[in-house]
Amino acid sequence: MPVAPVFGEDRRSCGTMVSVNRMTIIGNLGSEPEMRYTPGGRPVTSFSVATNWRYTTSEGERKEETEWFTIVAWGKLAEQCNQFLTKGRLVYIEGRLRTHTWEGQDGQRRSRNEIVADRVKFLDRQGAAPAPEGKPDEAEHGELEPDDIPF
């Protein structure tokens, strides 16, 4: 399969295709953070963030749609999110999209998309300082198994 040139580069200089899995959102916390620990003692915090999209229809009617995201943070970032974030706070989140799959109590296979955060900035006055960046704790220890997640 031919590889398309990237930013005017010659096809021969693009030996492999590049992939990107990067999510960036700015929104308000829709829930209080929930921190848990894996059986191995690693902290993990999850919370929801809502983003809004406002637009006007062709008929002139103003509309607003809300999109909800599940955010998961690991390690020190998980501890900081749990300590400093509260429902309603405005946050900037960067991370990667991951599909979490599990089997429900009814035996049905379930899945949901979540953003595994590696950068969180508190944007409102209460939290002017960003949480320190670092390598996601998950990357240092390999992929997680569903049994590693305590919720």
pLDDT tens per residue across span 66-101: 999 999 999 999 999 999 999 999 999 999 999 989
- The string of DSSP letters for 35-74 reads EEE-TTS-EEEEEEEEEEEEEE-TTS-EEEEEEEEEEEEE
Whether this prediction's pTM lies above 0.95 is answered by: no
Question: Does residue 75 fall inside a structural domain?
Answer: yes
Does residue 151 belong to any structural domain of this protein? Answer: no
Q: What is the domain count for the chain?
A: 1
Structural domain includes residue 92 = yes
The 8-class DSSP code of residue 4 comes to: P
| 111 within some domain | yes
Residue 142, burial from CB neighbour count under 10 angstroms (0-12, 13-18, 19+): exposed
Beta bridge partners of 91: 27, 122
Residue 137 counted as domain residue: no
- Could you tell me if 33 and 81 are in contact, meaning their C-beta atoms sit under 8 angstroms apart? yes
Tell me the residue type at 130: P
Residue 143 structure tokens: 């992929």
Identify the domain containing residue 115 by its residue range: 18-128
CATH assignment at residue 106: 2.40.50.140
- pLDDT tens sequence across 100-149: 898 999 999 999 999 999 999 999 876 444 444 444 444 333 344 444 44
- Is residue 6 situated within a structural domain? no
CA distances from 135 to 43, 74, 108 (A): 15, 10, 34
